[in-house]
């Protein structure tokens, strides 16, 4: 009986030894230690080691992205509270080493962080469309770039967009744009405003007054261009584009069904930016009476609306001296 037990024990020990040796050869323990030490607090599981995007201890993987030679994942703390939870957006190189990370805030049901889909509509993947493209050479410099947007939650604001350059050896931040209106990417446009081959990024930033809620806020544009290796605010250099947008908005106001307090404030604000502040104030005051029924319906004092809106127009910078 003892001999039988000894034989079984020896067999089990031999199997364990073989498994251990095979594991060493297959997973290359020295390499695993290198990855773990470089990843700081990020804990990789065997899922990550098999060529897939790593898991993150204490977080669930919400979405993954292919970014050229890099891969990225959005994580959310698990278990998530009822409304929102901390999150992480991490970009990995081919060795699964994290090369860029963002601390985020995510909704418990739906993520609040997204990567711009250049194959989608306004950066959002169209329903039923399996084709996605999360990279584009925005700067026309031969290197792919990506746009990551983080929504802050709440009723008052807003989204921050981060522009990433996906270089051969590293990932670099080309700029950040804050105060964008709405969810990713409602307050962002990509356009070629001038003859420069690089794309401009147009930010829609809401300026709220006592004339209404967030949906009634003036839509003030800022234009970011790629200059000396960074995306920076170059609105003052694109006055002709702003004049064209103002002309379109004035035409829209000519259609009674399109009139709204948001559009009226947006027009007056554009006049202020273009150096004709007094014209903007007059236009607002002359056209506000047509919106009195809508203001009364919302319980808004027209006089308070007028005073606060004109204070906003005074605060806005003039781009034309």
Q: What is the CATH number of the domain that holds 181?
A: 2.40.128
What is the per-residue pLDDT for 154? 62
Sign of the alpha-carbon dihedral angle for 123, 191, 67, 164: negative
**Tokens describing residue 78:** 């698990």
Instruction: Give the span between the Cα atoms of 245 and 217, in whole angstroms.
Output: 17
- On the question of pLDDT at 127 being above 80, the answer is no
Average pLDDT in the 203-217 region? 93
SS3 category, 47: helix
What is the per-residue pLDDT for 23? 41
What is the per-residue pLDDT for 19? 41
Contacts for 59 with CB less than 8 Å, ≥ 6 apart: 75, 76, 77, 78, 87, 88
The boundaries of the domain holding residue 3 are 1-38
9 and 128, same domain (yes or no): no
pLDDT in tens, 260-317: 999 999 999 999 999 999 999 999 999 999 999 999 999 999 999 999 999 999 999 9
122 and 162, same domain (yes or no): yes
Per the CB < 8 A criterion, the answer to whether 200 and 192 are in contact is yes
131 and 180, same domain (yes or no): yes
The pLDDT confidence band at residue 1, using thresholds 50, 70 and 90, is very low
- Number of residues that this document lists for the chain: 321
- 136 phi/psi in degrees, rounded to 5: -160, 145
The pLDDT confidence band at residue 156, using thresholds 50, 70 and 90, is low
Residue listed under structure tokens 């746009």? 147
Strands (E), the chain: 59-67, 70-77, 84-92, 98-107, 113-115, 145-151, 159-166, 171-180, 188-191, 200-207, 218-227, 230-233
How many domains would you assign to the chain?
3
What is the per-residue pLDDT for 68? 94
223 and 274, same domain (yes or no): yes
Q: Which of 157, 191, 225 is the last residue of a domain?
A: 191
What is the per-residue pLDDT for 13? 46
What is the per-residue pLDDT for 313? 97
Residue 40 vs residues 35, 64, 79, 188, 202: alpha-carbon distances, Å: 9, 21, 22, 34, 36
What is the per-residue pLDDT for 6? 46
Average pLDDT, the chain: 84
105 and 149, same domain (yes or no): yes
Q: Which of 191, 206, 235 is the last residue of a domain?
A: 191
Please give the radius of gyration of the chain, using alpha carbons only, rounded to the nearest integer: 27
48 and 184, same domain (yes or no): yes
Q: Which of 21-25, 190-194, 274-278 has the lowest mean pLDDT?
A: 21-25
Higher local confidence (pLDDT), 232 or 43: 232
206 and 253, same domain (yes or no): yes
Q: Which of 191, 222, 238 is the last residue of a domain?
A: 191
pLDDT in tens, 87-109: 999 999 999 999 999 999 998 88
219 and 285, same domain (yes or no): yes
- 66 phi/psi in degrees, rounded to 5: -100, 120
69 and 178, same domain (yes or no): yes
Average pLDDT in the 222-227 region? 96
81 and 166, same domain (yes or no): yes
The pLDDT confidence band at residue 81, using thresholds 50, 70 and 90, is confident
Higher local confidence (pLDDT), 185 or 16: 185
What is the per-residue pLDDT for 180? 84
HSE-CB at 277 with a 13 A cutoff on CA atoms is 13
Q: Report if pTM > 0.85.
A: no
């Amino acid at each position: 009986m003892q001999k039988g037990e000894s034989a079984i024990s020896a067999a089990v020990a031999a199997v364990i030894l073989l498994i251990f040796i095979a594991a060493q050869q297959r997973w290359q323990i020295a390499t695993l230690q290198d990855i773990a030490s470089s990843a700081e607090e990020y804990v990789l599981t065997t899922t990550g080691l098999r060529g897939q995007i790593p898991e993150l201890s204490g977080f669930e993987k919400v979405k993954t992205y292919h970014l050229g030679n890099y891969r990225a994942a959005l994580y959310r703390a698990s278990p998530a509270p009822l409304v929102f939870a901390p999150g992480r957006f991490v970009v990995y190189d081919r060795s699964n080493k994290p090369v860029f990370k963002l601390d985020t805030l995510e909704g418990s049901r739906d993520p609040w962080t997204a990567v711009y889909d250049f194959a989608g509509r306004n950066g959002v993947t169209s329903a039923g469309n399996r084709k996605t493209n999360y990279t584009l050479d925005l700067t026309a410099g031969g290197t792919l770039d990506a746009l990551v947007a983080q929504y802050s939650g709440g009723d008052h604001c807003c989204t921050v967009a981060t522009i990433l350059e996906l270089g051969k050896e590293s990932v670099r931040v080309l700029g950040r744009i804050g105060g964008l209106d709405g969810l990713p990417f409602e307050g962002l446009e990509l356009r070629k405003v001038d003859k420069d081959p690089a794309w401009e990024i147009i930010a829609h930033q809401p300026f709220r007054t006592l004339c209404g809620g967030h949906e009634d806020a003036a839509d003030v544009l800022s234009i970011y261009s790629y200059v000396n290796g960074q995306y920076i605010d170059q609105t003052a250099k694109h006055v002709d584009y702003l004049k064209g947008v103002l002309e379109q908005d004035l035409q829209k106001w000519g259609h009674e069904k399109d009139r709204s307090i948001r559009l009226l404030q947006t027009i007056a604000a554009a006049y202020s930016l273009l150096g004709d502040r007094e014209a903007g104030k007059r236009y607002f005051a002359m056209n506000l009476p047509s919106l009195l029924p809508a203001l009364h319906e919302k319980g808004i004092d027209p006089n308070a609306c007028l005073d606060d809106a004109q204070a906003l127009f005074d605060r806005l910078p003039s781009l034309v001296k």
